Amino acid sequence: MLSQEDVNFIENSLSYEEKVSVIFLLYGHRNPQYALQILTVAGRAPETEETNFLIDWMSHVHRSESWEDELLEALTIMEQNLLLLRAGFDDEELRSKYFPRTAEIAFHVHSILKGLYHFCERLTDESAQKLVNQLQLSIGGNCALPKNECMEVVLLELICNGSIQLGLKQSGVECNLLMLTAACKAAELYDESELLKSIMSHYNRNVAHPSQEQSDATAKNTPKVDDVSNGVAPSERTSRKVQLACSPLESYTFDPTRAGIVLLINQFSFYRETNPELVELVPARPLKERKGTEVDKNALERLFTDLGYDLIVEENITHHQILQAVQHAVQRTQPIHCSLVVCLLSHGQEGKVFGSNSIPVEVRAIQQLMANERLTGKPKLLIVQACQGADLQSAVPIPIYEHDGLDGSEKTASVFMDFLVAWSTVPGFASIRHIEKGSWFIQELCAKLRLLYRSEHIMDILTAVINDVASKRGYGNECMVPIVQSTLSKRLYFHRQA
């Protein structure tokens, strides 16, 4: 537990700009007017003078069980890693708990405030001033926005005057960032405008509307006046309602008691095929053992078992056996099952993975096997931990990192309905795997799924995975970015929907 002494130490280790950010994140939805008053006092005080607004905030929310988590999450979002270390916290553990770089998702801090903080961080002094001028034009002369101030102060003013509405999920109140989004467009800040749209969309689609649900239930069996007067038959009205219900927000059926099949193919060791008909497909250099893949395999096994799946595990199988294993998994998937998942852990080229005999298999061929009529309408997930090329984003040797691939040229893409293909890296680049801790991609995927599956659907979870993997760095500043191709037509949650 954080003590009052700890909180006081944290507060007085922050610069004025950092205090602005933490006040914004903690007070922005509670009392933005009071936050502005605090900042006015803090701004006038000398940099060396101690403040106590966090102590006051701590006393104000102390009865809340999550106050400590909220403060720690706010500091993690602000990337106060050194300060958190000095306060006795493991900053890596906090980052894995809160994944601060994902702007759309927060656990204790109001998620719109987190998103707006990220928005502020992207602005240069020049673009911020340009935006403030545009906002001033939008709201008119009745309310003067502060100039030469941190952008969070400007946003607090907009929250106070109602130009920004943060929303409240529990009460079914949506957020509204439309004025800010429009001002960004007018100021030619198009990327920032898209970020705001993403934040607003993610928040609002998870807002409950109890009054609307009650209204819909009341109106369910009540004929519309227009329908009666126009002679629309009850069956036609029912059909119309069914069509309206089939919206993009619909979810796939998922029941943990019949989740489906997971095929996990784990390639650890490789030999060179000697069949004269295949030998020309063998790469020039021998494929190394994939040290660390056992860690990935174990993490995936635990995760999907906990989600309710039946596992089929194959290890060190040839290119032909890979295709046979996929075909077998498809046949094992029964009409009662909700989905099929195939995980491939191997060396790879662009669009291909290797069998244990060093012969490549096109991922497209695996997708074609999964696109079986018996799986029509069911989500089919293909997770590939393999390289799509040999290039690293830094030429510096990696002491305890390896990569899973060779050169390649052929590109593939999913063209089937209800498919999701998640590659550990974008085409042309190597996929980084720690020889003791496992691959960056699989470890983040398992961690985020375990953390978020009760509240988020797969595409939002993968967004968080991409964000966190892309922020990692190897010892030589190597980095990688996963890529997702999806033709999913509904949301996929790994729990039963109410």
Catalytic (active site) residue 387:
yes
Distance, in Å, from the CA atom of 379 to the CA atom of 132, rounded to the nearest integer, reads: 45
Distance, in Å, from the CA atom of 65 to the CA atom of 71, rounded to the nearest integer, reads: 12
Q: Taking the CB of residue 305, how many other CB atoms lie within 10 A of it?
A: 13
Catalytic (active site) residue 347:
yes
Cα dihedral 131, 132, 135, 137 sign: negative
Q: Is 441 exposed, middle or buried (0-12, 13-18, 19+ CB in 10 A)?
A: buried
Distance, in Å, from the CA atom of 129 to the CA atom of 137, rounded to the nearest integer, reads: 13
Secondary structure (H, E, C), 351-384: CEEECCCCCEEEHHHHHHHHCCHHHCCCCEEEEE
Place of tokens 């936050």: 35
Distance, in Å, from the CA atom of 387 to the CA atom of 393, rounded to the nearest integer, reads: 13
DSSP character string of 82-145 = HHHHHTT--HHHHHHHH-TT-TT--SSS-HHHHHHHHHHHH--HHHHHHHHHHHHHHH-TTSPP
The one catalytic residue in 347, 403, 434, 457 is 347
Place of tokens 């590659």: 423
Distance, in Å, from the CA atom of 308 to the CA atom of 322, rounded to the nearest integer, reads: 24
Distance, in Å, from the CA atom of 272 to the CA atom of 286, rounded to the nearest integer, reads: 7
Q: 352 phi and psi, to 5 degrees?
A: -140, 155
Q: Closest Cα partner for 434 from 267, 294, 317, 301?
A: 294
Answer yes or no: are the C-beta atoms of 120 and 152 closer than 8 Å: yes
3-state helix, strand and coil shares in percent for the chain, rounded to the nearest 5: 45, 10, 40
Answer yes or no: are the C-beta atoms of 345 and 265 closer than 8 Å: yes
Structure token pair of residue 392: 């690293």
Answer yes or no: are the C-beta atoms of 312 and 370 closer than 8 Å: no
The one catalytic residue in 175, 184, 343, 387 is 387
Catalytic residues: 347, 387
